Amino acid sequence: MALQLGQIAPDFEQDSSEGRLKFHEYLGSSWGILFSHPKDFTPVCTTELAEAARLMPEWKKRNVKPVGLSVDTGENHKGWAADIEETQGQTLNFPVIADHDRKVSTLYDMIHPAADPTVTVRSVFIIDPQKKIRLIMTYPPATGRNFAEILRVIDALQLTDGYKVATPVNWTDGKDVIIVPSLSDEEAKQRFPEGFRTLKPYLRMVKQPKLPSAS
């Protein structure tokens, strides 16, 4: 059965580019993103790993730990890391799981036989500090991931957890947000003393609170 939102992300212990990694222990009280690659020395993923490393200040601001995965050995990871630094000008600064026995890939349903039975699909999992899966995305092999979107979703999730708001279509940092329907008008007045706009009883807009990462 495929993993679903709200489930506890399966724990595992596996080799990585930074040694043996116990997933839940490694994440600790942080958020996490786990993102997979078909195998080492693939062109699109070379650019993605570099971008994820380049964004380390942004991950740290949001209390997020990135973890990559590829169905290759740690020895291959070392060679790939050198290629990434040479071609992208960026050193890897987070662990990449060496899932050579496909243990983690199978656990996270990353093998899609109809696409290719020998490699992982390119999945992204966002995991909160309670180890719950909050987002699952799967990309085709030839399309690079949009890390700006991944950061946007993390910001939105952290706003929801912190302030009981939801984010409307195409929301970006600084735009108005929606008060969640489960919050009564009285509760909303207490939470948002500066006021809010009621477009419909179920659609109440309010100025975006400060992002947790900006606090």
Task: Give the tens place of pLDDT for each residue, 135-182.
Answer: 999 888 778 889 999 999 999 999 999 999 999 999 999 999 999 999
178 Cβ partners below 8 Å, 6+ apart? 165, 166, 167, 168, 203, 204, 205, 206
CATH number corresponding to 13-144: 3.40.30.10
d(CA 45, CA 35) in angstroms, rounded, equals 10
Please tell me the predicted confidence (pLDDT) of residue 63: 97
Every domain range in the chain assigned CATH 3.30.1020.10: 164-210
What does pTM read for this prediction?
0.89
Domain 164-210 has CATH 3.30.1020.10: yes
Examine the pLDDT at 198 and tell me if it is beyond 80: yes
Find where tokens 């490694």 sit.
26
Give the pLDDT confidence of 75-111 residue by residue, as tens digits. Answer: 555 777 888 888 888 888 999 998 888 889 889 988 7
Give the pLDDT confidence of 108-136 residue by residue, as tens digits. Answer: 988 765 555 455 567 899 999 999 999 99
Quickly state the pLDDT bin for 71 (edges 50, 70, 90): confident
The amino acid occupying position 95 is P
Which stretches does DSSP call E strand in 49-182? 64-70, 96-98, 122-127, 133-139, 165-166, 177-179
Examine the pLDDT at 215 and tell me if it is beyond 60: no
Q: How many C-beta neighbours within 10 Å does residue 39 have?
A: 16
Please tell me the predicted confidence (pLDDT) of residue 2: 80
Catalytic (active-site) positions: 45
Highest mean pLDDT: which range of 28-42, 67-81, 119-133: 119-133
d(CA 58, CA 131) in angstroms, rounded, equals 20
Examine the pLDDT at 50 and tell me if it is beyond 60: yes
Every domain range in the chain assigned CATH 3.40.30.10: 13-144
* Mean pLDDT value of segment 192-206: 95
